[in-house]
Amino acid sequence: MSASAVSPSIVGAEQFLQPLTPSQLLRIEGELIGELPLAIAALRFTPAHFDAKAFERLRIPAPDTLAKAVDKRRAEYLAARLCARRALAANAIEGLPWTAEGERCPQWPGGCIGALTHSQGFAAAAVAAGSRLSALGIDAEGWIHSDRADRLAAMILCDSELDHWRELPELARGAWLTRVFSAKESLYKALYPRVKRPFYFHDAIADFDPTRPSRFTLALVKSLDAHHPDGFSVEVRALDFDRGVLTLIALPA
């Protein structure tokens, strides 16, 4: 379908919001979405310029859980919901996602499925009709630099992934780890609504094709249920941007 910015009139009226450039939107549409039947809306934001009255001005309800949150957390929440509203509108649906009591993931209106993400002043939402796709995950992560990569690698990577990571040039390790980390976050967002049980970074393994650096696979190394057994695999689409990486997983209905 398409990638879109939140309405320029909305972004222009709020000091803490900034639109993506047309070229950035074209990259999301061409390199990430491609032929997939989904919409992605995205924007940038600056938490330092956020003010609490923005929720009222933008007609986004603020949940009670944000009452005592810091401005950064509230800005992230608001930016992601603005993206969700725009991505739903691209599917001809009005409304916003909500979190039902006892649920750990957003619920989507109008028979849609979707996912939200925010990181490093970037927010995005991906939405599709539930009749076209059965699972959808999107995740943005800021680049993990070398000092943090050394500390985090064993938490994120399986043994074989860790062996491969150690063989990479030192300057390439942070970016590779960031892509795998983001992909596993996207996998969780895509599959958790289906399996309704937690799973972890070491429960999936990445397999890269050096001829296709922006596409790779993740395969489960444990069974989650009868429909998602050990070996179940998905394609990951990855898009590098200035501050990090954006990954997407979409499964057909």
The confidence score (pLDDT) of residue 146 equals: 86
64 is in an annotated binding site: no
56 is in an annotated binding site: no
The confidence score (pLDDT) of residue 6 equals: 66
What phi-psi label fits residue 92: left (phi over 0), alpha (psi between -120 and 50 degrees) or beta? left
Q: Alpha-carbon distance 210 to 170, whole Å?
A: 18
Predicted structure pTM score: 0.95
Domain coordinates of the chain in residue numbers? 2-131, 144-252
Q: For residue range 53-62, what is the model confidence (pLDDT) as tens digits?
A: 999 999 999 9
Q: For residue range 143-165, what is the model confidence (pLDDT) as tens digits?
A: 999 889 999 999 999 999 999 99
* Tokens coding 8: 């320029």
185 is in an annotated binding site: yes
Domain 144-252 = CATH 3.90.470.20: yes
CA-based nearest residue to 3, from 121, 118, 90, 108: 90
141 is in an annotated binding site: yes
What confidence category does residue 97 fall into, taking pLDDT thresholds of 50, 70 and 90? very high
Q: Alpha-carbon distance 123 to 41, whole Å?
A: 8
Strands 204-208 and 244-252: unpaired
The confidence score (pLDDT) of residue 226 equals: 98
* Tokens coding 27: 């990259």
Is the predicted pLDDT of residue 11 greater than 70, yes or no?
no
Which whole number is the average pLDDT over 82-98?
A: 96
117 is in an annotated binding site: yes
Q: What's the DSSP call for residue 30?
A: I
Is the predicted pLDDT of residue 70 greater than 90, yes or no?
yes
118 is in an annotated binding site: yes
189 is in an annotated binding site: yes
The confidence score (pLDDT) of residue 99 equals: 85
Burial of 47 (0-12, 13-18, 19+ CB in 10 A): middle
- The CATH class of the 2-131 domain is alpha beta
Q: How far is CA 129 from the centre of its chain?
A: 17
2-131 and 144-252: same fold? yes
* Tokens coding 232: 């179940």
Contact predicate 39/4, CB 8 Å:
yes
Q: For residue range 100-142, what is the model confidence (pLDDT) as tens digits?
A: 777 788 999 999 999 999 999 999 999 999 999 999 999 999 9
